[in-house]
Amino acid sequence: MNDNIEMLNYLYQIAEMSKDVIDQMLQQIKYLEFNDILREQLKNYENAVTKADTILNEEARVPKGTNIMPETMAYFENRVNALKDDSSTHIAEIITKGSTQVIFDITTTLNKVTHINNNTKDLARILIKIEQDNIEALKPFL
């Protein structure tokens, strides 16, 4: 297997899943104190999806959607759909926990793969930075 292509698909899936979760939150919860922050996060994830798609196309590959990450996507969908507490604090907590998990997952995966190119490493770093920025932006709401 090609570590670089697998990692690119993995990063694409994370960005796509994160984009979908934030979009779903924005649709369901209209009056959060930090809607602007979520819209910025959505834009960042959309840019990451586009970057991953571009890199994969350069490698003559088609991105694989989020279908191989069903447990993670289902977790976030269930959390969003089952929100009994739609307070800004609770939503900030859910997103912060998710961002922390994504940072852990990307870092762990980066440490396991051996043959990935600089574009792929850069995309991984971009996603980690997006998640770190998400956490920082939401800290005041925790």
Please check the confidence at residue 105 and state whether its pLDDT lies above 60: yes
Residues 7, 113: contact at Cβ < 8 Å? yes
Please report which confidence band the pLDDT of residue 68 belongs to, taking 50, 70 and 90 as the band edges.
very low
Alpha-helix runs per DSSP H in the chain = 3-28, 35-58, 70-81, 88-112, 118-138
Name the fold adopted by 3-141: Ferritin (1.20.1260)
Q: Please give the residue that has the higher pLDDT: either 124 or 8.
A: 124
Q: What is the pLDDT of residues 118-135, one digit of tens each?
A: 989 999 999 999 999 999
CA–CA distance, 24 with 75 (Å, rounded to integer):
13
- Which pLDDT score, from 0 to 100, does residue 32 have? 76
Residue spans per domain, the chain:
3-141
Q: What is the pLDDT of residues 24-56, one digit of tens each?
A: 888 777 777 888 999 999 999 999 989 988 888
Phi and psi torsions of 30, nearest 5°: -80, -25
- Which pLDDT score, from 0 to 100, does residue 58 have? 79
Q: What is the mean pLDDT of residues 58-67?
A: 61
Give which of 60, 59, 46, 56 is closest to 130, Cα–Cα.
46
Q: What is the pLDDT of residues 69-99, one digit of tens each?
A: 555 555 555 555 555 677 788 888 888 988 9
Tokens of 14: 């994370």
